[in-house]
Amino acid sequence: MKINLILYTLDNLLQNVRTRKVLLFYLANVYDRYYADKSVALNYYRKFTKEAKDVDENLISYSLYRIKELTQEEDFWKKKKK
């Protein structure tokens, strides 16, 4: 599957410190768009916002927005299971 190859490649690129910050965002975005389990995306968005002090402000804003949305979704499903 192409998406698995993309994720594998991005994960390997994370070893490069210079590209790590932005790649965390793109990994989060891929998991967010293409996987049903959003917990991985949420973790990558959180890692990105912790490390992203000197990156594009739009990426940070979008990450914070998605963290809020995904957390609300997660809480909704947890309550529904009870």
From the first residue on, what is the mean pLDDT of each consecutive set of 10 residues in the chain (82 residues)?
A: 80 71 90 93 95 88 97 83 71
Dist. CA 42–CA 10, nearest whole Å: 17
Q: Which of 69, 63, 66, 67 is nearest to 24 (CA)?
A: 63
Q: State the pLDDT at residue 17.
A: 63
- Token pair, residue 73, equals 């979704």
Domain housing 65: 2-81
Q: State the pLDDT at residue 12.
A: 77
Dist. CA 78–CA 34, nearest whole Å: 21
Dist. CA 43–CA 39, nearest whole Å: 6
Q: How many structural domains is the chain composed of?
A: 1
Q: State the pLDDT at residue 82.
A: 67
pLDDT single digits (tens) 23-41:
899 999 999 999 999 999 9
